[in-house]
Amino acid sequence: MRKAQALIAASFVTIIAIVSCSKSGTTGDVVTTSASVVTQFTQVRTTFGNRIDLTNLANYANQTRPPYITKDNTGANRITNAKATLGRVLFYDKNLSVNNSVSCGSCHRQQFAFGDTSVASPGVLGGFTSRHTMRLVNARFGAENKFFWDERAPSLEFQTTQPIQNFSEMGFSGTNGRPGISTLLTKLQGIGYYNELFQFVYGDINVTEARMQECLAQFIRSIQSFDSKYDVGRSASPNDGNPFPNFTASENNGKGLFIGRPTFNAQGVRIAGGAGCNQCHRAPEFDIDPNSRNNGVIGSIAGTTDLTVTRSPSLRDIVNPGGVNAPLMHSGVFRQLQNMIGHYNNVNVVAGNNNLDPRLANNGRGQHLNLSPQEVNDIIAFMRTLSGTSLYTDPKWSNPF
């Protein structure tokens, strides 16, 4: 009897030790789970191998960021390693679509700063996205709390399950004979690795939309990029106004043009100053001003007029090591940075566009920045400094399947 009690006590100590290890460095994680799950994780290990180790979680919660990065839309949903790990699995799992063909990661691809190269990304059963896939890098680091190009999602948490419930994208719409999200929740709860993961994170195997939203949002907010040439220069300078010691003359001139406000004459033609990009895409996060309206690109993929696009991704990592993370804009209308800058160089005020951002028009006329070819090249040179490298290769953001 005493021998049996001693064995039970020893087993309990072992379980506590393993749980303690699994919580190492996971600020805010709640890891309460059974002995069999803690000691085995059979389904997780079978499915993911060493790509996910629940006893040694990747660092999502305590990543470093520069002191000059101050904007943060996290709110109450603070990142934890355990929930972000579960979010990573959900993000890449094609089981989240009605025919197991599409995941969030199918459209938001790591090698393109979590954007896509297609104008419209393929969904389920011949469907496509109605707008171009937005890059997700540094989605956390901005003052804007609303998401989607038209800001229809009040939070990132709400946004995460909307594509899942879109008829054309992932299909659990509950319309036209398609199952709703409750069917998905039952489906996921019948998968062994989700039993183990939800037990590990929440202490039970219940899959709910709120839990999915919480974990997906944490994973997305963990995706950050602060190892760019710009960050090296900004760390060595008191502000963005000073020349950066590691920049070329062209890059510093482009930075001045990006940040400087233009001076216009009565005809809306720039006669002095910069290009004014920073008024909407604000350094050092390069996030969109929440008060922005549309930018004059009012076409759509379908060929109709779209006046409701008032959001953009961060301008960080607009290029990748191999080229531009294109196409650009909600309609995918531009393939090169030259084309994009050309639009802002001469903004046309289209009749009926009553939602044009007033910073792009003067006296009822669209702005004419009158940029020289050299100034365009300088702005492009500066924008290329906003891209890092680890974003594209860090395994904690990669597909675990």
DSSP string covering 285-347: TTEEPTT--B-S--B-TTSSB---------STTSEETTEE--SBSTT--BSSHHHHHHHHHB-
Nearest to 379 by CA among 328, 319, 313: 319
**Percent of the chain residues topping a pLDDT of 70:** 90
29 falls in which pLDDT band (50, 70, 90)?
low
User: 115-118: long-range contacts (C-beta < 8 A, 24 or more apart)?
Assistant: 115/313, 115/325, 117/326, 117/327, 118/332
Question: What residues have CB less than 8 Å from 320, skipping those under 6 apart?
Answer: 111, 112, 113, 387, 392
Residue that the structure tokens 């039993």 belong to: 195
Q: What pLDDT is attached to residue 33?
A: 44
DSSP string covering 176-187: TT---HHHHHHH
Amino acid in the structure at residue 269? V
What is the spatial distance between Cα 295 and Cα 237, in angstroms, rounded to a whole number? 31
Residue 177's region, left for phi above 0, alpha for psi from -120 to 50, else beta, is left
CA distances to 12, 35, 198, 201, 203 from 39, in Å: 11, 6, 15, 15, 15
Q: What is the signed CA dihedral for 303, 305, 309, 313, rounded to 10 degrees?
A: 20
Query: Domains (ranges, CATH) in the chain?
Result: 2-225 (1.10.760.10), 229-385 (1.10.760)
For 377, the token pair is 């090249």
37 falls in which pLDDT band (50, 70, 90)?
very low
86: phi then psi, degrees, rounded to nearest 5: -65, -40
6 falls in which pLDDT band (50, 70, 90)?
very low
What is the spatial distance between Cα 203 and Cα 365, in angstroms, rounded to a whole number? 60
Please state the rounded mean pLDDT for residues 363-388.
96
Nearest to 201 by CA among 188, 214, 190, 191: 214
Please state the rounded mean pLDDT for residues 84-111.
98
For 365, the token pair is 């006329």
- Per-residue pLDDT reduced to its tens digit, 209-253: 999 999 999 999 999 999 999 999 999 999 999 999 999 999 999
User: 270-276: long-range contacts (C-beta < 8 A, 24 or more apart)?
Assistant: 270/367, 270/368, 270/369, 270/370, 270/371, 271/370, 275/344, 275/369, 275/371, 275/375, 275/379, 276/359, 276/367, 276/369
What is the spatial distance between Cα 56 and Cα 46, in angstroms, rounded to a whole number? 17
CB atoms within 10 A of CB 171: 25
